């Protein structure tokens, strides 16, 4: 089966964080309740960090990614999943009124575990934790909309 999905993300780290992942993938069945998920996509995440009386700092990560991992339906509405991703992109650090201060390219491997609760066959709420080979980690809360082939 193929999938195209859009995720709106809220990251559980300090600051005002928002962003999205847009991807296309294939989900060949491994068993009756488990698929192998392979995706290619684009990610754009922005985090604003500020305090009273000083300009906001904005950190924006944009990247293309490849992701592969299993997902399993443990009940009619609950999915658990995990993945390994290879991301290649750019981090920009800027400050209100100062423009881009730092731009840096990156390539990293990221590991993710999480779950989805399906409100409808096309809409789910998800929670996951990600760990990067560079040492960073975060937790994400998201809404996912699946186009096309819905369970």
- The pLDDT tens digits for 20-48 are 888 888 889 999 999 999 999 999 988 88
Averaged pLDDT score across all residues of the chain: 85
Q: In this predicted model, what pLDDT tens digit does every residue of 134-149 receive, in sequence order?
A: 777 888 888 888 876 5
Cα distance between residue 83 and residue 70, in whole Å: 7
Specify burial of residue 120 (Cβ count, 10 A radius: 0-12, 13-18, 19+): exposed
pLDDT per residue, tens digit, the chain (151 aa), is: 555 666 666 555 556 777 888 888 888 999 999 999 999 999 998 888 776 677 778 889 999 999 999 999 999 999 999 999 999 999 999 887 777 688 999 999 999 999 999 999 999 999 999 998 877 788 888 888 887 655 5
Q: Kindly state the greatest CA–CA separation across the chain.
A: 57
Which tokens hold the place of 1?
A: 């089966």
State the Cα–Cα distance between residues 140 and 148, nearest whole angstrom.
Answer: 24
User: Cα separation of 150 and 137, whole Å?
Assistant: 30
Sign of the C-alpha dihedral computed for residues 115, 1, 69 and 40 taken in this order: negative
The CB-side HSE value for 96 (13 A sphere, CA atoms) comes to 10
Task: Label residue 19 left, alpha or beta by phi (over 0 means left) and psi (-120 to 50 means alpha).
Answer: left
């Amino acid at each position: 089966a193929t999938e195209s999905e859009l995720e709106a993300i809220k990251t559980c780290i300090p600051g005002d964080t928002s962003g999205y992942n847009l991807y296309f993938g294939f989900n060949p069945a491994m068993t009756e309740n488990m698929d192998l998920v392979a995706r290619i996509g684009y990610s754009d995440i922005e985090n604003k960090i500020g305090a009273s009386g000083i300009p906001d700092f904005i950190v924006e990560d944009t990247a293309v990614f490849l992701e592969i991992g299993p997902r399993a339906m443990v009940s009619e509405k609950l999915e658990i999943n995990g993945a390994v991703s290879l991301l290649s992109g750019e981090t920009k650090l800027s400050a209100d009124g100062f423009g881009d201060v730092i731009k840096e390219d990156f390539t990293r491997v990221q590991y993710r575990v999480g779950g989805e609760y399906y409100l409808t066959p096309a809409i789910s709420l998800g929670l996951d934790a990600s760990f990067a080979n560079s040492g960073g980690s975060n937790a994400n809360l998201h809404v996912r909309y699946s186009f096309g082939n819905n369970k």
